[in-house]
Amino acid sequence: MTNSRINPEATFARPKLFLDTNICIYVANKTIPCDEWQKVRKHIEANYSYQISFVTLKELFAKISRGDDNCFEESKKPLRVLCELPQLEFLPYPPIFALRTVLGLKSIARRSPFPEEELYETVCKAIFQCSGKAQLKAGVPHPSKPGRIFSFNLDHFDSHENDAQLSHLNLLQGMQAGRVEMSDAMELAAFLLKDFGQVPDTDSCRKLVDALDAVYTFSRNLGELSKCKEARLEKRANDWGDIMQLYYLCDESMHFLTCDGKCRNQTQGSTQDHRILLYDDLARSL
């Protein structure tokens, strides 16, 4: 893994790009051919400031956590794909990124057993030097602090992060059953501010609504789908991750590269759908 520290003056004019989880998995299992990926990777290196999404990282950590230790090295391959591009930068939890980017709330942080974004690289490096989850939990030499031990519990992390997805599914099922009313964008913006200890005001909510247009468009479409009594909402649980990815588009220079056209389809007509890039389209253009 390369150094994540970037000179802002050297990169501020470059558009930013982050990868969806499916790209990392498809490159690792050769669904995406190696020669094709090398062309796409070179294009990203030449044209973008490369970012790592918390959501993609979370989902790849979950893949490792849920895998057998006998397949630990195989389970790590998608994570290696995610971290192999040079000049990477780790992004914070999506709503925190939005509050910092849109409203300038730089001190906003997350109460979580998972460390802040500046330590994500340490977690990845520790995983790469481990032979299994038990070794990582017990502790390994700290990747950047000689003489210190670093430990991380992948199972605890997976369980903690999975709670949000289950809550999302429960909300959709509540809408389907008629117990929950779908909130509008201003209400959702107010909920976001309250979740992080902020007092909502009209101006802040409007700024968030404008900057998170793709998030609210996807959420509105999903809410409409949930009203259908025949909809099998258990299949929509993973949409929580897709919605979280879209928070990063509040940065007008950010682009999202994915193999899944669902995000583009569900955000069609939003002011940000053109920054959701489909992998196949990009690969063909090269």
Give 181-214 pLDDT, tens digit per residue: 777 899 999 999 999 999 999 999 999 999 999 9
User: What pLDDT sits at residue 41?
Assistant: 97
- The two tokens of residue 38 are 């090398």
List Cα–Cα distances, 60 to 22, 37, 46, 192, 274, in angstroms: 10, 19, 25, 26, 26
User: Is residue 12 over pLDDT 60?
Assistant: no
User: Is residue 45 over pLDDT 50?
Assistant: yes
Q: State the pTM of this model.
A: 0.87
- The two tokens of residue 214 are 């793709």
pLDDT digits (tens, 9 = 90+) for 252-271: 999 999 999 888 998 999 99
User: What pLDDT sits at residue 7?
Assistant: 46
User: What pLDDT sits at residue 120?
Assistant: 85
Average pLDDT over residues 230-239: 68
CA atoms within 13 A on the CB side of 89: 16
User: Is residue 117 over pLDDT 60?
Assistant: yes
pLDDT digits (tens, 9 = 90+) for 139-198: 999 988 889 999 999 888 877 767 776 676 666 666 666 676 777 899 999 999 999 999
| Strand bridging mode 140-141 / 149-150 | antiparallel
